[in-house]
Structures are given as C-alpha cells and as structure tokens.
Structure 1
Amino acid sequence: MSQAIKSQAINTSTTGSSLADILERVLDKGIVIAGDITVSVGSVELLSIRIRLLVASVDKAKEIGINWWESDPYLSSRTQELLASNQQLLERVNLLERELAAVRQLEGNQEK
C-alpha cells in the first residue's frame, strides 16, 4: 500500500513545466504590472510615482500597437548615421539663424 501512495504525485500548475515553458506562456499572452507609489507627510504629497511594466514578446507587443523600439535612435543600427544627420541639421539651422539676424540688422541700419 505504501508503494501506491508513493507513486501518486500531486499535480500542481507547474508540474512538468520548465522555466522556458512558463516564460513562453507569459511572453505569448503578455503580463502587465502596474503600481502607484505616493510619499506624503501629513496631507502634503511630496512624491508620486506611477509604474507600468509590460512583459510580452515582440510579436505580441506589435499586435497590441507597441513598437517604440523601431523608431528609437539609440536602439537602431543606424544610430551613428542619425546622430550625424541631426548634428548637420542643427549646424544648418544655426547658420540660417545667424544669417537671418544679420539681414535683420542690415534692414534696421538702412531704416535709420
């Protein structure tokens, strides 16, 4: 009789599941963790922090409309190219602003 008791296993939700299986299920469905932290002294709120965390696969995130990493220059393979292009544009804007200021100054001198 003791052998019959030993052979019966208690089934749990994680029986037979490896960490990889659990992670695959979480990433397939997604999980959201949300929380608010407030620090107050008396009735004066000093600090309020809202925390939102989404854990999902890339495919699931795209499916629900989240794809910020595709346009983030720091996560793109074109980071250096984008930064150089932005620097050139800033230099051109600065040059145009200086030229515009010089033209306005000339116009102001001609009116006097």
Structure 2
Amino acid sequence: MTATVSGRNPAQSRPMITSTQASSLADVLERVLDKGIVIAGDITVSVGSTELLSIRIRLLISSVDKAKEIGINWWEGDPYLSGQSQKLLQANQQLQARIESLESELKAIRAAQD
C-alpha cells in the first residue's frame, strides 16, 4: 500500500523534468563534463574537381576525471604542461654535445687508422 498526497502517488507529485525546461549554463556544463561530448567533422575546400584543402576535426570535451576514465591523460606526460621543459631542454643540449664529441673522436680514430 502506498501513501498518497492529495489523492496522488508521491512519485507523481514531484514535477517532471523535461528537456524543454530551462537549464542554467552551469547545469548544462556539468552534464557535458560528466558525460563528455565528441564532435567530429571533415572540411574540404575544392575548386571544380580539384581538392585544395582537407581538414579533419576531432574534438572531445570532458572533465579530467572522465578523460582519465576513458584512458586519455596526455597532459600528465607533456613536459611543457608539467614544468619539466627546462630540464628536458638542458638534457637535450647535453646529449647533443655528447654526440658531437663522440663523432669527433670517431673521426679522429678513423683518421689515425688510415
């Protein structure tokens, strides 16, 4: 037996939310970030039958948690976003100097053998 309010079932007394009801921007943004949204499209510019330009657009909008959940976490390893860019630049310069040194030593050894 269910209790009723004014002759109605309690579940029916609550207003039903429909897609036509106004939503605030925050509500819409929260839903999009929670579920994620994918936008995909192709743009082609042609003159006659000659294709001049073709652009493929793939866009994913989601929260960080949702992105990690689906396996997207490129920003964690990006040195420019993690602040490691200066360290990597210095390491790269040291490696380049080491390669140049090794190549000059190799040339000297080859010249000595001839």
The equivalent residue for 1:59 is: 65
Q: Which has the larger displacement, 63-72 or 12-21?
A: 12-21
TM-superposed deviation, 1:12 = 5.5
Out of 69, 75, 78, the position equivalent to 2:81 is 75
What RMSD over aligned residues (CA atoms) do the two structures have, in Å? 1.8
| Runs of 4 or more consecutive aligned structure 1 residues displaced over 6 Å after TM superposition | none
Identity %: 73
SS in 2 for 1:61: helix
Q: TM-score, normalised by structure 2?
A: 0.74
The equivalent residue for 1:49 is: 55
TM-superposed deviation, 1:38 = 0.7
The equivalent residue for 1:6 is: none
Matched residue pairs, number?
A: 98
TM-superposed deviation, 1:32 = 0.7
TM-superposed deviation, 1:104 = 2.2
Any stretches of 5+ residues in structure 2 without a counterpart? Answer: 1-16
Q: Which has the larger displacement, 35-44 or 12-21?
A: 12-21
Question: In structure 1, what residue type is equivalent to 2:41?
Answer: G
Any stretches of 5+ residues in structure 1 without a counterpart? Answer: 1-10
CA shift digits 1:62-104 (9 cap, x unpaired): 1111111111111112221122112211221222122222222
